[in-house]
Every structure is written in C-alpha cells, then in structure tokens.
A and B are shown apart, each in its own frame.
Chain A
Amino acid sequence: QKEVEQNSGPLSVPEGAIASLNCTYSDRGSQSFFWYRQYSGKSPELIMFIYSNGDKEDGRFTAQLNKASQYVSLLIRDSQPSDSATYLCAVNSQADSSASKIIFGSGTRLSIRP
C-alpha cells in the first residue's frame, strides 16, 4: 500500500513568519510531487509541483524535495491570515507509464495568527 504521510496539525504560525509543512512518502518510484491548498468547504487548489531534487520557488512558496529521504516540504514565507487552510501533499504513483494516479496525504491544517 503506497502511502503519503502528513502531520494533521493544527500548525499555528504568527503572521509574517515562515510556515513549514512536511510530507513523507513510501513509494521510492514516485516521480511527481504536488502541494494543494484547501480552504474549509472548498475544493483543493494546486499551488506547487516539483519533479527534481532541490528547491523550487514561486512567490512566497518554496517546495523542497529530497528523493533519497522520501521527503517533500512546503515553506510559506511572510505568512498571511489568508494562508490559513489545509495543505494536502500529493504524490504521483507511477505504477505504469500511462497512469496518472495521484495519492493524497490527509493534509496539515495551518492557522496563521495575527
């Protein structure tokens, strides 16, 4: 059973600080990694994807991938109250070359306190 693990939180971070969200995955063959943001009662929204080891930056968001440790993280700089949401880590299970089935973690609830 392929798994994606996240701390459920809640993670409370003061406004303006860096929020760090972590995720581990079990399938060593995984190739693609995604972070989704989900506001309460809404559907998930893709905010970052990363394929290669290292860091990928997009505005206030940085995704970090370490395939050797099977670890992916999301950093949010200058956290804003609007960043308060549940963040889902997702991993592409490449069971075969034509499949695109993504496995989701259960999410980390982030709360930014003013």
Chain B
Amino acid sequence: DGGITQSPKYLFRKEGQNVTLSCEQNLNHDAMYWYRQDPGQGLRLIYYSQIVNDFQKGDIAEGYSVSREKKESFPLTVTSAQKNPTAFYLCASSRTGRDSYGYTFGSGTRLTVV
C-alpha cells in the first residue's frame, strides 16, 4: 500500500545536539512538506519541496534544515540553533498544481528535549 513513513515515532534530543527526522513516501508525489504542531495549536510550515534538489522555507524555518536528493525522501534536521524544538513533527506529501487533492500525512514524530 502507498503511504508516508515517518521515523522514529519518538525522539529525545539532548541540549546542543542535532537530530534528523526521516520521511519517506511511495505515493509518487512531487511535493513534500514538514510541519510542526505544538499542543493545542495548529500546523506551522517549516519547509516544503516541490521538486527534487529544490526546497523553500516556510513560516518557521529558523533552526531547521532539509534536503531533497530523492523524490521519495525529505529528511528534516533539527539543529542546535532551534531553541524550543519539543513538538509533534508531521511530514506530508501531495501532487502539485490544480489537480492537487490535499495532503497525505505521515504518522508523525514526537520530539522531546531532555
């Protein structure tokens, strides 16, 4: 079955440490996205990519980095520059253009700073 796989499900980060969240999709979608969700809050866009080897900053890109070397993969690195990284991170993918039918989300990664 096609879908998006995020790993790990839970991640613990020490102060000053970089961590990478994995996101893989087999839906043949061109576009991929990373969102952050804080308790009781909506989704805030971190980065998005509409094509391989290209990506754009979202609303809260500071302290994060991404790469898009393959169509299927869009990993997110939370760097030590992100001062408040504890949150629920969601990866999504979609087709592009006017025939987009919304996003398909992965199951999420819950990141906690210890």
A residues neighboring B (CB under 8 Å): 8, 31-32, 34, 36, 42-46, 49, 88, 90, 92, 97-102, 104-107
With the chains together, A32 CA to B102 CA distance in Å? 8
How many residues of chain B have a CB within 8 Å of chain A?
25
B residues neighboring A (CB under 8 Å): 31, 33, 35, 40-43, 45, 48, 50, 90, 94-98, 100-108
Q: Are A107 and B45 in contact (CB under 8 A)?
A: no
A35 to nearest B CB, angstroms? 9
With the chains together, A107 CA to B98 CA distance in Å? 25
**Interface of A: prevailing SS:** loop
Q: Are A100 and B50 in contact (CB under 8 A)?
A: yes
Q: Are B97 and A42 in contact (CB under 8 A)?
A: no
Question: Which residues on the B side are within 8 Å of A88 (C-beta)?
Answer: 42-43
Q: Are A46 and B48 in contact (CB under 8 A)?
A: no
Q: Are A90 and B102 in contact (CB under 8 A)?
A: yes
Question: Which residues on the A side are within 8 Å of B41 (C-beta)?
Answer: 106
Question: Which residues on the B side are within 8 Å of A32 (C-beta)?
Answer: 100, 102
Question: Which residues on the A side are within 8 Å of B90 (C-beta)?
Answer: 43-44
Q: Are A107 and B42 in contact (CB under 8 A)?
A: yes
With the chains together, A104 CA to B48 CA distance in Å? 15
A55 to nearest B CB, angstroms? 18
Q: Are A100 and B105 in contact (CB under 8 A)?
A: no
